[in-house]
Amino acid sequence: MKYLPLDPQIFIQNRKRFIKAMQPNSIAIFVSNDEWPGNGDSLHSFKQNSDLFWLSGITQEDSMVILFPDCPDVQYREVLVLVRPNELKEKWDGRRLRKAEATAISGIPTIVWLDSIDALLQTWVHLADHIYLDTNENDRRASQVRSREYRFVDEMKQRYPLHQYHRAARIMRDLRAIKSREEVAVLQKAIDITDNTFRRLLGFIRPGVMEYEIEAEIYHSFLNQRATGPAYHSIIASGDRARTLHYVSNNQECKEGELLLMDFGAEYGGYCADLTRTVPVSGKFTRRQKTVYNACLHLHNYAKSILKPGISIVDYTDRVGEEATQVFLKIGLLRKSDVKNEDPANRAYRKYLYHGISHHLGLDVHDLGTRTEPIKPGMVFTIEPGIYIEEEQMGIRIENNVWITRNGNQDLMKNIPITVEEIEALMKK
């Protein structure tokens, strides 16, 4: 890992939270992600299962976390399973964790090698009545590939058909949505790295620069600050390309007079920042660009003012939609007749704002959490309204990350330049 060691108390407390939610005499088993094959004999970069990382801080492949709080043998109530270090394999693929190192990261004193876990696991399962197994229940999951955790579910049910099985993911959704102060401190580090990178870009952007050159500056800045890398594929979209929400080609020239939408964030310690800013390529907004930008900033600030405990994302989105309707009338995007005759299922403002306003953020960019239940203190959300105008070949989005508090929220990106005046002043320098 490139980042500095995290406080193992983060993972110790996370395991305590999960164990508290388990039924009596239960065992919970979490397995690491697959190593995905690329072309030929290559592998894609390994990305750890977020639930396993949340419980242990371990980023190594072929790992398991086993929680059996009622195990008669105290030493096996929390177990971390790792692949045994192999001298020959390490010559090719690099060093693997030793027991003491894994304990220092995770706070789990009992380390068992993967090649000896089967016999131990069978004994523990025979003592338990309930088995919690993990699955990827992110609502945005689209892949149909049967990944490692699902194959492990199949294997366990075949070997132990009479146990009572439970979804660890159901508990994880609720627990991971509520971030501790220690988790937010790590997230803040990812945000600070992203802040420094954005300021660097404001001195680099100019007419004639290529989108991929900006992307390269982002990678350089992230890695130079100990980030693992980008939290997601950076979106660097100049001109009309900014209206494509997931534009990732990043291969065109940024031209005089265009706006440049940049959606990027660093990953640090497993946690993801998610920033969007829209800036003028030439360093100064035109009058119309400024008008639309300030309208978007107004929606951003309005959304932040109502994102509080008790409201659901569905209701919150509806209220932002009402405000967007009034704003779009004011800046000439909508007419009163458009609003009067709108389809309730596809409201008029959706022509210019066709995505959601917020999503959960944490170990995953689109993190676990609910859309329909009331928002609770401790959750972290993006706030990212946008205005996309096909007729003017313009796309603007402004995104910050906020931590929900008892009475409102704390803007974790409050120090990142956001106003027209701040952006123009920094670009002028």
Token pair for residue 213?
């050159």
Q: Are 392 and 288 in contact (CB under 8 A)?
A: yes
pLDDT of residue 327: 98
Weakest-pLDDT range from 63-67, 145-149, 287-291, 296-300: 145-149
pLDDT at 139 over 80: no
Give the tens place of pLDDT for each residue, 169-218: 999 999 999 999 999 999 999 999 999 999 999 999 999 999 999 999 99
| Residue 43's pLDDT band (cuts 50, 70, 90) | confident
Whether 112 and 229 map to the same domain: the answer is: no
Whole-number pLDDT of residue 373: 94
142: pLDDT strictly greater than 80? no
Q: What is the largest CA-CA distance in the chain?
A: 74
Same structural domain for residues 89 and 215? no
Q: Which of 198, 172, 382 is nearest to 272 (CA)?
A: 382
- Percentage with pLDDT > 70 across the chain: 100
The alpha carbons of the chain give a radius of gyration, in whole angstroms, of: 24
Considering the domain architecture, whether residues 404 and 308 belong to the same structural domain is answered as yes
Pair (279, 329) in one structural domain:
yes
Tell whether 171 and 298 lie within a shared domain: no
Q: Which residue has the higher pLDDT, 355 or 43?
A: 355
Domain stops at, among 132, 147, 177: 177
Assigned token pair, 106: 């995770």
**Are 116 and 206 members of one domain?**
no
Q: Please check whether residue 2 lies inside any domain of the structure.
A: no
User: Degrees (nearest 5) of the Cα angle 267, 269, 271?
Assistant: 50
CATH number for the domain harbouring residue 388: 3.90.230.10
As a whole number of angstroms, the distance between CA 252 and CA 247 comes to 11
Closest CA to 134 of 157, 152, 155, 108: 152
Given this model, what pLDDT does residue 153 score?
A: 97
Q: Could you tell me the strand order of the sheet in which 409-411 lies?
A: 380-383, 400-404, 409-411
Q: Is residue 362 part of a domain?
A: yes
Q: Is residue 285 part of a domain?
A: yes
Q: What pLDDT shows up at residue 429?
A: 83
Based on the fold, state whether residues 157 and 266 are members of the same structural domain: no
d(CA 29, CA 32): 10
Q: Which domain holds residue 127?
A: 9-177
Kind and range of the H or E element at 278? strand 275-280
Residue (of 199, 211, 261, 219) closest to 399 by Cα position: 261
Final residue of a structural domain among 149, 177, 205:
177
Nearest-angstrom CA–CA distance, 224 and 202: 18
Q: Where are the alpha helices (DSSP H) in 203-333?
A: 211-224, 287-306, 313-330
125 & 226 share domain: no
pLDDT band at 41 (very low <50, low <70, confident <90, very high): confident
CA dist 428 and 155 (Å) reads: 61
Q: Are residues 302 and 279 in the same domain?
A: yes
Looking at the domain assignment, is residue 4 inside a domain?
A: no
> CA-to-CA distance for 266 and 197, rounded, in angstroms?
9
Question: pLDDT-based confidence at 141, cuts 50/70/90?
Answer: confident
Strand-pair partners of 276 = 263, 399
Please tell me the distance from the alpha carbon of residue 241 to that of residue 207, in angstroms, as a whole number.
16
Question: How many structural domains compose the chain?
Answer: 2
Say if residues 228 and 267 touch (Cβ distance below 8 Å): yes
250 has pLDDT over 90: yes
> 310: which DSSP letter?
T
**Residue 234 resides in a domain:** yes
Output the 3-class SS for 126-148. HHCCEEEECCCCCCCCCCCCCCH
pLDDT above 90 (res 281): yes
282 and 417 in a single domain? The answer is yes
Query: Burial code of 179-216, b = ≥16 C-beta within 10 A, e = fewer?
Result: beeebbebbbbbbbbbbbbbeebbeebeeebebeebbe
SS3 166: strand
Residues 193 and 171 in one domain: no
Q: How confident is the model at residue 371 (pLDDT cuts 50, 70, 90)?
A: confident
Is residue 3 situated within a structural domain? no
Look up the CATH number of the domain holding residue 80: 3.40.350.10
211-249 pLDDT, tens digit per residue, is 999 999 999 999 999 999 999 999 999 999 999 999 999
Q: Is residue 391 domain-shared with residue 244, that is, in the same domain? A: yes
Under the banding of pLDDT at 50, 70 and 90, the label for residue 62 is very high
- pLDDT at residue 57 in the model: 98
| pLDDT for residue 307 is more than 90 | yes
Last residue of a domain, one of 131, 146, 177: 177
